[in-house]
Chain A
Amino acid sequence: MRRRVIFRGKLLPYLLLAPQIAITAVFFFWPAGMAIMQSMLREDPFGLRSTFVGLENFAELFADPLYLGAFSNTLVFSGSVAFFSIAVGLFLAVLADKQIRGANLYKTLLIWPYAIAPALSAALWLFLFHPAIGLFARIIRGYGVDWNYYINGGQAMLLVTIAAAWKQVSYNFIFFLAGLQAIPKSVLEAAAIDGASETRRFWSIVFPLLSPTTFFLLVVNLVYAFFDTFGAIHALTQGGPAKATETLIYKVYVDGVVNLNLGSSAAQSVVLMVLVIMLTAVQFRYIERKVHY
């Protein structure tokens, strides 16, 4: 018995849609169109000479081992950022959901990191782990580890992963906490009466019931790691050492802004655009259909 409003004529609906379409056109279609156009040009930075080269920029990109390297860096980086931030967020949410004294205080404190600007938090991480002046760096070296992420690629990757994941933990925490509170207490009580241990109750009841939240967070965290971690990487490693932490989004910046290689940078943005469209499509298609309780 849904009520449907049917407009007479064709003008009014288009008129009502016009503001939204205008905003989408100006802020999405136009820049995206420019990027696609630029990706098929080879141009000097000043735009004085440009040649149409078709798909050559793309061909060069996929033949370039460094680009493929950035691709695999991005997969490793995004995968671990999503995994760590979801795992830690869930762990903290489960702890904070218990009946403990001062639970509200913990909850508030755990949400704080989300309010810190990415560049700022990266600066804090820098001060903690800087090989020369970092507080933790000194402690780590006290244990005999040669901590110098300026030359050790693995350490650099670990550091940017932790810095990027740390910020996302709060976000995941809020969603998991809400998810946990929505789980009917009666089910848990019934299981407890049947003699299920706490671990068992978590894996057999809580975790499956949380799966829609987890799936949503997985997509959101992957998108975050793909596109929003520029600040952390820029402040900490600048993609180094030896490109060990250069992700796709960072490479777009390096090639476009630093190296002024606009054609290649635009081609990379187009690839990223395709990726984000795919991720969003997956999210819309599966988020409520395939994840069942």
Chain B
Amino acid sequence: MKTRFSVYPYVWRVPLLIWQGLFFIGPLALMVAMSFWLVKNYRMEPDFVFKNWDKMMSRGYFWDAYWITLWRASLAALLATLIAFPASYTLAFKVSDTVRRWAVFFLIVPFFTSYLVRAYAWQVLLAESGPINAILGYLGLGPFTMLNTGIGAMVGYMTLVLPLVVILQTFSLAAIDRNLIEAAWNLGASARATLFKVIIPSARVGLIIGAVFAFILSYGDFVSPFYLGGSKPPTMSILIIDTTKSGQQWPRAAVVAIMMIVTLFTVAFVAVGAAYGRRK
């Protein structure tokens, strides 16, 4: 547009660079550096040693935490995808546009409301003497131990991720060209064949992105495994909190954090690659 130098574009471009540099990249870079530092007399001293890495990598409890977190987050992503799909399918194909808009409207609300208080509510609901067991008791069932088990943690993960997964799936299903589906029917495809050969492949990107978000959120979550899952064995995030809060061992917590970020990004890249790959 203009050839002479103008300050105008930079006023809009630069604030983000400064802010993210100072308060996003800076802290993360410090954390990486910190993982090579040493703690002496309860104070961190800059250094470049691999002691923290050796310490964490050689401990059984670290790998227990690593695998249980990976396993639970994968299970949560799979469950959320399966539980959400019938609902998303209904919202995408069986209801009017207005109903769908309102449904999405109400699904956004819980995502931005206190997850902590919702987890506490589940703690009350799932307790041995809580309302759910009381109702099951009238039916002659239970009581079941749900709190402080893997089930409790999974209920918490679903509370956290289901609304988002349903929204993402609904959008991707609603965006499918209806002619494609009708064509499949006209050509005599069964409902099952239409679902698996037309609808699911067309909505692949949205389905995978939904699962990836479910994975990311569950993987990093600390509330559900701690308050609903009983924190035994600890997950990676519980390990970070324990290491930071009790032992002042920030460098070792940084090691756990870096392992988490590497794992998350690997999973996300592989999954997004699968979503967009082979799609000509």
A pairs with B: no
Show the binding face of B for A, using Cβ within 8 Å. none
* A residues lining the B interface (CB < 8 Å): none
